[in-house]
Structure 1
Amino acid sequence: MIKIENLTKSYRTPQGRHYVFKGLNVEIPSGKSVALIGRNGAGKSTLLRMIGGIDRPDSGSITTDKTISWPVGLSGGFQGSLTGRENVKFVARLYAKQEELKEKVAFVEEFAELGKYFDMPIKTYSSGMKSRLGFGLSMAFEFDYYLVDEVTSVGDSSFKQKCAKYFKGLNKKSNFLMVSHSLNSLKEFCDCAIYIGKDNEVNYFEDIEKALEKHKIEQAA
């Protein structure tokens, strides 16, 4: 379970402070993959980043005894002057045991299919190459919850098929917290939903179909 209590998040804007959430309270159940659904700008990705510890709330708390990934495919945290291999080693030292380091690095090298670029600085990579490395890195470690924000596969068709295979395999043994514009993807991978509606009202739906129906009605209004 992930418990969110009295969470407030806001940003300064030229028009004054904009509140994404005010005093949010919601529990994300264990053993279920959860879709975050709502209009554009509702705060879905912001909530996902806070759950992953990448962004911080103004106040309130997010507590869990489960392990939570960084957003799947995230490539913005790579150090540009280091090689792909060096970046992977750095992350592996944080998330893996010493005896697992070689195995993790080898997995990412094979998965990302970067060839000689794996030993070249990240700053020489295209955005697609960074995404491949980021996706491979996400697949190399096991978490109770994986954070998924629009990224399910990158690259050519064969690489996309490989990503889809691993992604579906993860979903069988772990849970997703997922944001996507693809309603079919949400239905495929998620069991239930957190719906962020008008005025940032947040509701938990045990049945994802009901949340998607509410979303369609609100979109049409």
Structure 2
Amino acid sequence: MSDDPIVELKDVSVEYKRPMVFGRKERASAKYALKDLTLSFRRGQRIGLVGPNGAGKTTFLKLMSGVMTPSRGEFTIKRSVASVLDIAGGMVQGLTGRENARLKYYLSKADLSWRDFEKHVEEVSALEGKLDEPVASYSSGMKARLDRSMLRLTRGSIYVFDEWVAVLDADFERRSSGGIKAVADLVVVASHSEKVLRSWCDELIWLEGGEVVESGGIDDVLPRYQKEINQRAKAANRR
């Protein structure tokens, strides 16, 4: 099996312009969501992203998903990507969970039967009778479980998830997360939840201000990150 990287970032930055007014003139000031990142990922890695709000985690996932492109630098990805960055993204709120699953099934032109997919959705989502109620009535957790059950139609060997993973209940995680972990070439998850990170990830990347503070094994990086965040919270409370 080749150990060549399947994702590479070389001096990658993502910036956006924000207006600044000087006297009567308005100028654009650049702010970096990601700055000068050089990283590579190989097949089999399970990566977690940590960092405070605004650290660049969501931008990183959007870059991985193809939603954004670098402002500068070189970004290479050698596998297809399946991403879920928004709970219930693409669902029709007025339709039931089952109707949304059927709609997604027919739009996907999947090579499995509707009945097989329907059984999969019933089993993985564990929504039971709620599957026949409108998605608009679902809690965030229910929407996430339905969304997760339909990932079978999303072809890809790299799976990218945002904070929505954290709303899944413990029983659902035990029953469902192993499927993706078993088949994916690469998993990248952003979360504030230690439970979610330890369930999905072996390694962490700690982001601050769009830059990498530290990366490595979860047992090395997570305690240092948590200590830093706790110290900041205590300092803020003393002010």
Q: Which amino acid aligns with 2:158?
A: Y
TM-score, scaled to structure 1: 0.74
| Alignment-derived partner of residue 58 in structure 2 | 45
Q: Which amino acid aligns with 1:2?
A: V
Give, in whole Å, the separation in 2 of the partners of 1:7 and 1:46. 12
8 Å CA contact retained: 1:5, 1:23: yes
Task: Give runs of aligned pairs for residues 54-133 of structure 1, distance below 5 A.
Answer: 54-60=67-73, 62-71=75-84, 74-93=87-106, 97-114=110-127, 118=131, 122-123=135-136, 125-133=138-146
Q: Which amino acid aligns with 2:189?
A: M
Give, in whole Å, the separation in 1 of the partners of 2:95 and 2:125. 17
Out of 7, 16, 19, the position equivalent to 2:12 is: 7
Q: Which amino acid aligns with 1:4?
A: L
Q: In structure 2, do the counterparts of structure 1 residues 72 and 89 end up closer, same or farther at CA, with 3 Å as the change threshold?
A: farther
Out of 171, 180, 187, the position equivalent to 1:170 is: 180
8 Å CA contact retained: 1:139, 1:166: no
Q: Which moved more, 1:32-41 or 1:142-151?
A: 142-151
Percent identical residues: 27
Give, in whole Å, the separation in 2 of the partners of 1:52 and 1:207. 24
Residue 81 of structure 1 and its aligned partner are, at CA, apart by: 4.9
| Alignment-derived partner of residue 236 in structure 2 | none
Q: In structure 2, do the counterparts of structure 1 residues 34 and 88 end up closer, same or farther at CA, with 3 Å as the change threshold?
A: same
Give, in whole Å, the separation in 1 of the partners of 2:10 and 2:107. 28
| Alignment-derived partner of residue 20 in structure 1 | 33
Partner-residue secondary structure (3-state), 1:164: helix
Q: In structure 2, do the counterparts of structure 1 residues 70 and 96 end up closer, same or farther at CA, with 3 Å as the change threshold?
A: farther
Residue 190 of structure 2 corresponds to residue 179 of structure 1: yes
Residue 46 of structure 2 corresponds to residue 36 of structure 1: no
Q: In structure 2, do the counterparts of structure 1 residues 80 and 185 end up closer, same or farther at CA, with 3 Å as the change threshold?
A: closer
8 Å CA contact retained: 1:35, 1:193: yes
Partner-residue secondary structure (3-state), 1:74: coil
**Where does the alignment leave 5 or more consecutive residues of structure 1 unmatched?**
none
Residue 218 of structure 2 corresponds to residue 208 of structure 1: yes
Q: Deviations over 1:75-118 (max 9, x none)?
A: 12213355534432443356563344442233214433445664
TM-score, scaled to structure 2: 0.70
**Where does the alignment leave 5 or more consecutive residues of structure 2 unmatched?**
1-5, 21-28, 233-239
Partner-residue secondary structure (3-state), 1:97: coil
Out of 177, 202, 219, the position equivalent to 1:191 is: 202
Residue 44 of structure 1 and its aligned partner are, at CA, apart by: 0.9
Q: In structure 2, do the counterparts of structure 1 residues 58 and 80 end up closer, same or farther at CA, with 3 Å as the change threshold?
A: farther
Out of 159, 175, 178, the position equivalent to 1:146 is: 159
Partner-residue secondary structure (3-state), 1:19: strand
> Who wins on radius of gyration, i.e. which is larger?
2
Give, in whole Å, the separation in 1 of the partners of 2:176 and 2:117. 15
Q: In structure 2, do the counterparts of structure 1 residues 218 and 200 end up closer, same or farther at CA, with 3 Å as the change threshold?
A: farther
8 Å CA contact retained: 1:72, 1:138: no
8 Å CA contact retained: 1:73, 1:138: no
